[in-house]
Each structure stands twice: as C-alpha cells, then as structure tokens.
A = this chain, B = another copy of it.
Amino acid sequence: MPTIPTPSATAPTRTKGRLFLVPAPLDFGCTELPELQATMPLGTLNAAAGLSHWICENAKSARAYLKRVNDITPLCQPIQALSLVELPREVHKKGDHSGNFDARPLLQPALAGYDIGLVSEAGMPAVADPGSSVVRAAHDLGLQVIALVGPVSLLMALAASGLNGQNFAFVGYLPQDPQDRVSRIRELESLALKTGQTQLFIETPYRNLVMLQALLHTLQANTRLAVSSGLTLSLASTVSHTTKQWKTVTHTLDNATPAVFALGR
C-alpha cells in the first residue's frame, strides 16, 4: 500500500514527525460493534497501528478503538505503553475554534521526530468535532498533516439525501430554545430556497424527535427534509421527502441514535 504513508514506529526516523488525522467508526456508544473493516480501510488501520503518540478527545474511547485495531493489525506497542494525551475539556465545549487554545505543546513529540495521531470519539477529527486547534498548530510548526479515509456521517447523509451536493453548508447545532429554534429553521430554509444551498445540521440524539417535530411544523410544504440516522450501523436509515410527504410516511427516528438533518429544495 504505497499511498498511505507508514508512520514511524517507536523510534523516530525523521527530523519532524507528521500529524495523522485518524477517523474512528461511527458506533461510539452503541451496543452493536460492527467489524472495523466494514467501514475502515486497511490503509487507515495500518497507519493507526503504527502510531505510538496520540492526541484524543477521550483517552478511554481511544484505547477501546485501538484495541479493536489491534485485533486486525498488531499495534507497534502494547496499548498501555502508548502515549495518549487528552484535549482539555474547554476545547470540547467551545467547539475548538475560539482561537484561544494553543495546541503546540501537545505536538512536542513531533518535534522530536514522532508521528502523532489525532482521533475523536466518532468520525473524522476536526469535522463537527474537536481537533482544528491541533491541526492549526501542526501547520504553524511546519508539520505535514495527513487526513486518512474513514466514515464521515455528514457527507454520507448529504449523498443519501438527494439534496444539492454541489452547494451545501453544515451549521452545527440549532438553538435549544423553542422560539429561537423556529427562527433559525426559518432562516436556514430561506437561505436554502433562495440560494439552492443545502443546509445540514445535527442535534443531541435525545432531542431528535423534538427537532423533527419543529421542522415539520415550521418548514414550507414543498421544502425537502432528509434525516439520516444510525449511519454505518445495521439500523441505518435515510428518509428524504418534502415536508408535505413526511406527514404521511412512517419513520424510525428515535431519541437515542445519532442523526444528521438536511433541508433544501
């Protein structure tokens, strides 16, 4: 596999290490744990197995992931011997793009020649997840940054929605206050209808059904709404209809499964 750069093992072999962005499977928190190879390329698993230094959203879930990697490709070191550093809590909360967190100290091992992996709890780090401060710091330090292939729920949801994939936006979470939420839905719908730009957003799973209800009450009859839930899991589902049609179909959205919402024309 010549095209996925092989990370250095325990002994550094280059002047500066690289930063690998390592996607994680989308089954975080699920009782069903599918085989990694169903959704993770071998190139990604091999690269992950070769890394001795990690920056992670949560050390416990990173170790659990690496344990599954080890079942397919032996890790370069026993899990207990790996260096795992957690991103500070405030970085999680603020969405990691306030610009105030200096991640350069976390990347010191790269200056000693070690490759470093960045991993979040599910999906691609730094996309709808913490990590961008680490990537920025890596560029500032002159490190090579290599994104590996893995599942990205936002783009899978967009592709499966049938909505415009030539022009789209992801806007994160919508407001929790019911009135603010309705205003924001109206704003996003107006933008989507005017410009043709599909609007994607997410919600904490336990508010999925409240969000769906707000959308169906607020959106115009001919606006298309797509909801993807449980992507890559056996219960994966994408329902995509105009608001009018939604009111007549059955869906299986629940308040436990991560979902991605998309609206447009």
Contact = CB atoms under 8 A, between A and B. Distances in A.
Interface of A: 1-4, 21, 32, 34-35, 37-44, 95-97, 99, 124-129, 131-133, 135-139, 144-147, 149-152, 154-172, 196-197, 228, 231-234, 236-241, 265
A135 B161 contact: yes
Nearest to A99: B265
Contacts of A37: 1, 41-43
Contacts of A162: 126, 132-133, 135-139, 145
Top 10 closest pairs, chain A to chain B, by CB:
A38-B43, A136-B162, A3-B34, A135-B162, A169-B169, A147-B156, A127-B165, A1-B38, A139-B240, A147-B160
Given A41-B41, A162-B135, A155 B156 contact: no
A39 B4 contact: yes
Contacts of A41: 37-41
Contact of A149 (B39, B43, B238): B39
A4 to B, nearest CB: 5
A165 B131 contact: yes
A234 B2 contact: yes
A160 B134 CA distance: 10
Given A35-B43, A99-B265, A139-B238, 4 more contacts: A1-B35, A3-B234, A128-B166, A131-B159
Contacts of A137: 162
Contacts of A168: 169-170
A164 to B, nearest CB: 4
Contacts of A42: 37-38, 42
Contact of A160 (B146, B171, B197, B239): B146
A150 B147 contact: no
A53 B205 CA distance: 36
Contacts of A234: 2-3
Contacts of A39: 3-4, 41, 43-44, 149
B34 A129 contact: no
